Amino acid sequence: MTSAPNWLTPGASVVCIDDDWPVGLLPGVPYRVPMLNEVLTIASVELHNWAVYLTFIEIPLHQTAGPIGADVAYYWEHFRPLVKRTIGDDMKIFAPLLDVTRVDEGVAHD
């Protein structure tokens, strides 16, 4: 059985890190696939044939072209969790530069 990480939960934001999708998976269906670096929200996590697949809120589950249609899900290893950083976290790296002690304190000037 494929082991999936615990961040794979509905509602979680993920980033597509591999957009090498099989060509011709659904012949004749111009289905929408996740694009590299695209941020998506997990709608569901499903187990099929011992592999974990994801569906997304931003991408229609059922995709059609004329009379041909199918439900499309995406293999979880093409994604990583979105790491959200706040501006405060980014600014903390500059704190040591801002904590400057004046060198001339206590020195008498003429």
Pairing of strands 13-16, 39-48: antiparallel
pLDDT band, very low/low/confident/very high, at 84 (cuts 50, 70, 90):
confident
pLDDT band, very low/low/confident/very high, at 1 (cuts 50, 70, 90):
very low
Mean pLDDT (whole number) for 24-50? 83
Question: Model-level pTM?
Answer: 0.69
More confident residue, 1 or 85: 85
Q: Residue 12, SS3?
A: coil
Query: Is pLDDT at 21 greater than 60 in this prediction?
Result: yes
Paired tokens of 59: 């991408």
pLDDT band, very low/low/confident/very high, at 70 (cuts 50, 70, 90):
confident
Q: Return d(Cα 56, Cα 39) in angstroms, integer.
A: 10
Percent of the chain with pLDDT over 90: 38
Residue spans of the domains in the chain: they are 13-84
pLDDT at 102: 56
